[in-house]
Structure 1
Amino acid sequence: MHLNTPRITALTDAALTPEQRQALAPVTAPNRPVLNIFRTFAHAPEALTRFLSWGNYILRGNSLAPREREIVILRTGYLCRSGYEWTQHVEIVRRGGMGDAEIAAIKTGAEAPGWSAADAALIRACDDLHERQFVSEPVWAALKAHFSERQCMDVVFTVGQYTQVSMMLNTFGVQLDEGQKLDPDLDARG
Structure 2
Amino acid sequence: MESAEPTEAAEQTREWLRQRFEEEGPEIDELLSKTRGPDGEVPNVFRVMAWNPKLLSRFNVFAGYFYTKSHLSPRERRLVIIRTAWQRDSMYELANHVVWARDAKEFGEDELASLQMREPEGWDEREQLLIELVDAMTTANSVPGEVMAGAAGSMTEPELVEVFFLSGLYGGLAVFINSMNIALEPKPQEESARLSLSSDSAADS
TM-score normalised over the length of structure 1: 0.86
Give the Cα–Cα distance (whole angstroms) in 2 for the partners of residues 65 and 184 of structure 1.
24
Note the alpha carbon deviations across 1:130-170, whole angstroms, 9 max, x for none. 12232221111112222111101111011111101111111
- Amino-acid identity (%): 26
Larger helix proportion of the pair? 2
Report the residue type matching 2:104 in the other structure. Answer: G
Render the CA deviation track for 1:55-96: whole Å, top value 9, x for unaligned.
101232221111111111000000111011001110121123
Return the alpha-carbon distance in structure 2 between the equivalents of residues 140 and 70 of structure 1: 21
Find the aligned partners of 2:82 and 2:115 in 1 and give their Cα distance: 7
2:43 is matched with 35
Q: Unpaired runs of 5+ in structure 1?
A: none
Residue type of the partner of 2:52? A
Question: Is the 8 Å Cα contact of residues 6 and 175 (structure 1) preserved in structure 2?
Answer: no
Matched, 1:158 2:166: yes
1:1-190 alignment runs, 5 A limit: 4=6, 5=11, 7=13, 9-10=17-18, 11-12=20-21, 14-27=22-35, 32-97=40-105, 98-109=107-118, 111-180=119-188, 181=190, 182=192, 183-186=194-197
Per-residue displacement from partner, 1:115-141 (whole Å, max 9, x unpaired)? 111111101100111122322211111
* SS of equivalent to 2:187: coil
Task: Give the stretch that moved more between structures: 179-188 or 97-106.
Answer: 179-188
| Distance 1:2-1:171 versus aligned 2 partners, 3 A rule | farther
Cα distance in 1 for partners of 2:36, 2:120 equals: 38
TM-score normalized with structure 2 length = 0.80
Q: Distance in 1 between matches of 2:4 and 2:54?
A: 26
Unaligned ranges ≥5, structure 2: 200-205
What amino acid is the match of 1:106?
Answer: L
Q: Quote the Cα distance in structure 2 between the aligned partners of 1:33 and 1:137.
A: 41
Q: CA deviation at 1:179?
A: 2.9
